Every structure is written in structure tokens, then in C-alpha cells.
Amino acid sequence: SQASREAAQIAASAELESEAEPWSLLQPLNGGNRSGLLAALFKVLYDGQGGAPRLQPDSRALGYMKRLYKAYATKEGIPKSNRGHLYNTVRLFTPCAQHKQAPGDQVAGTLPSVDLLFNLDCVTAVEHLLKSVLLYTFNNSVSFPSAVKCVCNLVIKEPESKTLPGTPYSFTFNSQFEFRKKYKWIEMDVTPLLQPLVASNKKSIHMSVNLTCGKDQLQHPSAQDSPLNTTLLLFPSLLLYLNDTSAQAYHRWHSLHYKRRPSQGPDQKRDLSACPEGEGAAEGIRSSRHRR
Amino acid sequence: SQEAVSSELKKPLVPASLNLSEYFKQFLFPQNECELHDFRLSFSQLKWDNWIVAPQRYNPRYCKGDCPRAVGHRYGSPVHTMVQNIIHEKLDSSVPRPSCVPAKYSPLSVLTIESDGSITYKEYEDMIATKCTCR
């Protein structure tokens, strides 16, 4: 009967809860960021331990992200308001597996083609991709007095990616890099390729990258005899610019448009929306009061 | 009787040592009124500096102090706050006085190293108290 089925469901969910760690019950229900700051805060409240041991990141990648942090936030950590974009999360992944596929051709300025595997376990379902970039770093800052033209050929190696609707299986694009001053890295926008994969919550992305840069435009004497590939590190990092839609993340557009009155908490707002006639009634009273 | 009244009138209204403004202050505003306080911490105190790269120092601030009896617009408190005060004072002291709590927050940008070695920049909502209220 209905009652016995409900009783069975209640018993099952109670059993589930008793098995889960108490602190994990405090986790945000909307599948929010489990590996980030919040999970650590809950763990400290629960058992006093801090973050789990971590793999150490590549120093150049860390340097890039520190520079990004300084551009986006003040020294006290307050997000700068002069930013026009909507992403509140930037994730940098270094390839967890990489190897050279074919040797390059120095005369033609072609870098060796490389095979890369990125593990995107940290990306949560509530994080929506806005932009994605392959980040090449130089092993020292070089300066190119004139523009260098590079052609990049990207192929997604996932066999099942053919089944994903609208996924560009391979992706060739020409990028014009303007090297005018000291550079430590170059960025290539690969958003059209990554968008459907991240949207379908893929956790690992396997791709091969082939980069060819116009050698004759390299005016710099040192660049002539040591083409790009001796200064450009072959294995790029993957940057994802995301909009975290969970309640704990800061939504810039939200704070600009909706100033929340201190006396009105989100739940009260939800109560009103829960019974729309309540809202209509409130509206009606207000307008009649105005009329009076 | 006249003697009692005259002796009452002779008593000093205000103890001579206490001047008038101080005397009235104890009625108008609590001594340690509800307000915002700083608390600067560095993530190394929590032993988190191995994975929280920035910011170096974090001041979440907090609200502390007594709420005046007639709060009104002063803290943006709803009328309910005075009702709760009256209940506490006149009807049932087991109902607590209104508390001094944060009313507004500002976000915080954090740069962290994830367990798989990837690096994350993320902006969290409601991480720094910026205004207090009595509720």
C-alpha cells in the first residue's frame, strides 16, 4: 500500500544517511564544488583536519595563475569590480599524460605534434564553460620584433566524441600571434572544441596538437637559428573560464542588479514565489496604497 | 508625609562624581554596542597555505556587542526586533534578547591548488561581513 511504500522509502533514506559521513551531509546539495574551499571548511569543522595532500603544480602554470589573481582581485582578496566578464571561476589543467607523436620540421617551422590527456575531474556540473584556451609557455621570455603567424591543428582523439552531437571532431584554426614585447606565454582560444565536451560533463579530454609557425617572419636573430620550438614548451596547459552557478559562488551580475534588502532573506523571497497569489496580493495592496 | 518628601527632595538626583552626559548615556546606548570587528587571519594558521595560494591574509570580520532596546532604523532591524525585546523584558525572559549578527557580506577571490594538481581561481559569495544588524 502507499503507506508501507512511503515507510520503506523513509527507512531506506535514513539508512543511507546513517552510512554517510556526518560532515558530508553538510555538503551543498546542488552538487556544488566538492573539492574546493567549502569542502575543506566543512572538514575542519568536523574533524579539524585541513586540506588533503596535493600534487604540486607546474611552476610556470602557478606563475600565470598568480598573475591572473593579481589582475582580478585586490591584495585583501576582494574581486575587482572593473571586470566586464561573467566568469567567477578559472581552472588551469596541465596535461596528465603527454608524448610527442611525430618530429617537427624545423625548416618549415613545424613543431613536433604532441598527444595530450587532460583530467577534468574538478569541473562540477554547476560550472558552465564560457571560454577555453590552450596556454603555451616559453622556457624563457623571448621577444619577437614582428608578428608571427601560426597555424594550429587540433584533433580530439575520443572515439565516442563522434557520437556527441555537434562536436567538431577535428579543428584547424589559424591564429595570428602579435609578439611585440617580452612574452612568457601565448594563448589559443579552443572554446568551440571544448564547449560540447565540458557541457556533456566529460571528465577526460584526449587531443593531439600540431602547431606550425611562419619561420620567415621571425626577425629576431636568435629566433632564426633557434626556431620557435626550442623556446616554446611543447606541452600546453588547458585553461577553462567557467561560470559557477551554485549559491556559494559570487555572481557579479546578480549583485549589480538585485540589491538584497537586509530584512528580506532569500527564503522569504522564495516563500512569496512559492505562493504567487501572495505576491499578487502584496502587489495589489501596494498599488492600492499608492492610489490612496 | 512632609518630612519624607522633603528628605527625598534633599537627596542628590545624580551622584556628584558622575556628570550628566555619562549618566544619560547608560540609558540611551549600551556600553559595548553591536558593531563590526576585525579578525585578520592567515591561512598558514589553519595549515592551509600548502593549497590556498592567495590571498595571503583574510579578514572575515564579525559582529559583536549588545543591541539597544529601541533599535528602530538604526540597524535596519525589522519591528519584530522590538517585539522580541518586549517579550524578553515583560513576558518571558527565556525568550532571548535580539542578537548582533551580520546583515551584509562581500565576496572573496581564492586561488587554490586542487588535489589533482590543477589550479583554481574562484570567487566565493558572502565571505566577509560588511554590516551588522540586531535580530
Query: Per-residue pLDDT tens for B13-63?
Result: 656 566 777 767 656 666 788 999 999 999 888 888 888 999 989 999 999
* A165/B109: higher pLDDT: B109
Q: How far is B83 from chain A (nearest CA, A)?
A: 15
Alpha carbons B130 and A220: distance in angstroms, whole number:
53
Residue from B40, B83, B121 whose CB has the most chain A CBs within 10 Å, to mutate = B121
| C-alpha to C-alpha distances, A90 to A122, A133, B17, nearest whole angstrom | 11, 11, 64
Contacts of B111 in chain A (CB under 8 A): 65-66, 69
Please judge whether B107 and A78 are an interchain contact, meaning their C-beta atoms are less than 8 angstroms apart.
yes
Contacts of B120 in chain A (CB under 8 A): 36, 89-92, 122
In the prediction, which pLDDT does B30 show?
61
- Listed by number, the residues of chain A in 75-94 with a beta carbon closer than 8 Å to a beta carbon of chain B are 75-79, 88-94
In the prediction, which pLDDT does B110 show?
94
Note whether B35 and B52 are within 8 A (CB): no
Report ipTM for this prediction.
Answer: 0.74
Strand B52-54: give its sheet, edge to edge.
A183-189, A127-142, A237-244, A89-93, B119-134, B100-113, B52-54
Alpha carbons A190 and A100: distance in angstroms, whole number:
20
Please judge whether A249 and B122 are an interchain contact, meaning their C-beta atoms are less than 8 angstroms apart.
yes
Residue from B119, B126, B135 whose CB has the most chain A CBs within 10 Å, to mutate = B119
| C-alpha to C-alpha distances, A123 to A70, A90, A129, A241, B75, nearest whole angstrom | 23, 10, 10, 11, 41
- Counting as low any pLDDT under 50, the low residues of chain A are 17-34, 161-164, 166-168, 179-180, 216-230, 259-283, 285-286, 292
* A55/B90: higher pLDDT: B90
Residue from A43, A58, A88 whose CB has the most chain B CBs within 10 Å, to mutate = A88
Q: How far is A217 from chain B (nearest CA, A)?
A: 35
For the beta carbon of residue A237, count every other beta carbon within 10 angstroms: 25
Beta-carbon contacts of A289 under 8 Å, excluding residues fewer than 6 positions away, are none
Query: Per-residue pLDDT tens for A66-93?
Result: 999 999 999 999 999 876 778 899 999 9
For the beta carbon of residue A27, count every other beta carbon within 10 angstroms: 16
Q: How far is B97 from chain A (nearest CA, A)?
A: 18
Alpha carbons A185 and A147: distance in angstroms, whole number:
15
In the prediction, which pLDDT does A219 show?
43
Angle between helices A266-274 and A276-291 (to 10 degrees): 100
In the prediction, which pLDDT does B54 show?
93
Task: Give kind and range of the element (H or E) at residue A238.
Answer: strand A237-244
Contacts of A251 in chain B (CB under 8 A): 125
Choose among A50, A92, A252: nearest Cβ to B119.
Answer: A92
Mean of the per-residue pLDDT values for chain B?
Answer: 86
Cell of B87: 517579550
Candidates A111, A89, A87; CA nearest to A100 is: A111
Contacts of B72 in chain A (CB under 8 A): none
Candidates B105, B130, B125; CA nearest to A38 is: B125
Choose among A38, A76, A96: nearest Cβ to B55.
Answer: A76
| C-alpha to C-alpha distances, A160 to A165, A168, A206, A222, nearest whole angstrom | 11, 12, 11, 44
Q: Which residue has the cell 582580478?
A: A72
Note whether A215 and A108 are within 8 A (CB): yes
Alpha carbons A150 and A152: distance in angstroms, whole number:
6
Please judge whether A40 and B115 are an interchain contact, meaning their C-beta atoms are less than 8 angstroms apart.
no
In the prediction, which pLDDT does B103 show?
94
Choose among A44, A65, A92: nearest Cβ to B46.
Answer: A44
Phi-psi category of residue A188: left, alpha or beta, with phi > 0 → left and psi -120 to 50 → alpha: beta
Please judge whether A54 and B78 are an interchain contact, meaning their C-beta atoms are less than 8 angstroms apart.
no
